[in-house]
Structure 1
Amino acid sequence: MPIVVRAAHSFEDVRTMVGPKRPDASVCFCLSHRLPAKQNRALVGPARGEYVRSLCESTIAPGVLAYDGDDVVGWAGVAPRSETSFARSTKIPHLDDLPVWSVWCLRVRPGHRGEGITASLLDGAIDFARTNGAPVLEGYPSDNGADRIDLTMAFVGSRTMFERAGFVYAGPTSSLSGGFPRVIMRYDLR
């Protein structure tokens, strides 16, 4: 069965992919790049889930989800850059004044890795951004060459993965992820 990618309007499926195991935990939900640091630290316990629930109920979802049949198997955080910490980043420069969208977190459920789901997520992120009027979609993956990336923390993707999805190298950053430099990859949607 082919992987289907849809806007992340299902809070339960978002929680399955990026929510903490305990509802009172004050971690993840893919909020560290969505919110200013002070607001992210202040949003604790169940309030984090409620915040994400409100995002899922918004007209524009907080990202996309990949499904294998009825099972959610992947997540990508996607939003206008202006609504993320990338809007204020001193390490990831703005290349121009276009109202860029960003894709910053790719997550695949254990047991489904190595099945091409991240490629489907990037294709879905492109379609999602285009449908919502974005002129350009940017990603900020690791430029790790052939070296393996530690997946312990959030996965920002690899340059090669973004190139295979049709993104082009647009410039360097002074940011690191997993010890590797991050680069700006762009997909023109115009």
Structure 2
Amino acid sequence: MTIEVRPATVFEDVRTLVGPKRPDASVCWCLSYRIPSKINNKMRGQERGDFVRNLLNDGPLGLLAYEDDEPVGWAAVAPRADTTFARNRKIPHVDDLPVWSLWCIRVRPGHRGQGISHALIEGAVDFARDRGAPAVEAYPLDNQGAKVDLTMAYAGIRKNFEAAGFTHAADTTSTLAGHPRILMRRSFE
């Protein structure tokens, strides 16, 4: 198995990973931290997919992992200033560095447990560094080995980020699926 991580530029592949199964469903598309909640909550059904298609015209929205040209994983990564984390009251700012945020890792069922999330984290680090980021932040669950509901595991888990060289930078007041989230950072300087 060869996993290749590439910028997410192909709408159909993005839809495979973060689009709903039903076109009329008003879920996901990995927009909740990318755009203001007022806009995110207003959009319904196919309008959400159309919004993502238009965003892709401006460049990649993150990264996709491919196994033999089949999209199998997704990572959302962007400058923190361009996300709602810039104003999030539960996730602190460690300093004034123009860091990038990595907030979502998703691996398709049937492809989990094969190291794809690790490849996506490393790909996101490389993607941000190549674009001048001084550091990448993530806000994973500090589940301390407890089982995490896969639907809510999109934020990632602490041990995966530690394995990728991220270190604990701050506690947060955010929780997800009953687990505290922490701010982890990997710096390039």
Q: State how far apart, in whole Å, the 2-side matches of 1:45 and 1:147 are.
A: 34
- What is the Cα deviation at residue 153 of structure 1? 3.2
Q: How does 1:1-190 map to 2 (within 5 A)?
A: 1-59=1-59, 61-153=60-152, 155-190=154-189
- Structure 1: any 5+ residue segments left out of the alignment? none
Q: How far 1:78 moved relative to its partner?
A: 0.6
CA distance in 1, matches of 2:7, 2:151: 25
- CA positional deviation for 1:187: 0.8
Per-residue deviation at 1:178?
1.1
Q: Residue 57 of structure 1: CA displacement?
A: 2.3
Residues 127-181 of structure 1 show CA distances to partners (whole Å, capped at 9, x for unaligned) of 1111111111000000111111111235111111100011111010000011111
> How many residues are treated as equivalent by the alignment?
189
Offset from partner CA, 1:97-135 (integer Å, 9 cap, x none):
111110011100100000010000001100111111111
- The normalised TM-score by structure 1 is 0.96
Q: Distance in 2 between matches of 1:39 and 1:65?
A: 25
Structure 2 distance, partners of 1:21, 1:147, is 29
3-state SS, counterpart of residue 170 of structure 1? strand
User: Which amino acid in structure 1 is aligned with residue 119 of structure 2?
Assistant: S
> Which amino acid is the alignment partner of residue 34 of structure 2?
R
* Divergent runs of 4+, >3 A: none
Output the CA distance in 2 between the equivalents of 1:93 and 1:27. 27
SS at match of 1:142: coil
CA RMSD of aligned residues (A): 1.1
* 134-143 or 22-31, which deviates more: 22-31
**What is the DSSP-based 3-state SS (H/G/I as helix, E as strand, rest coil) of the residue aligned with 2:40?**
helix
Separation of aligned partners in 2, 1:145 and 1:154: 13
| Alignment TM-score, normalising by the size of structure 2 | 0.96
Deviates more, 1:40-49 or 1:67-76: 40-49
Structure 2 counterpart of 1:40, which letter?
N
Identity within the alignment, %: 58
Unaligned 5+ runs, structure 2: none
SS of residue in 1 equivalent to 2:93: coil
Q: Which amino acid aligns with 2:177?
A: G
Deviation at 1:55, TM superposition (A): 2.1
Q: How many angstroms apart in 1 are the aligned matches of 2:145 and 2:173?
A: 20
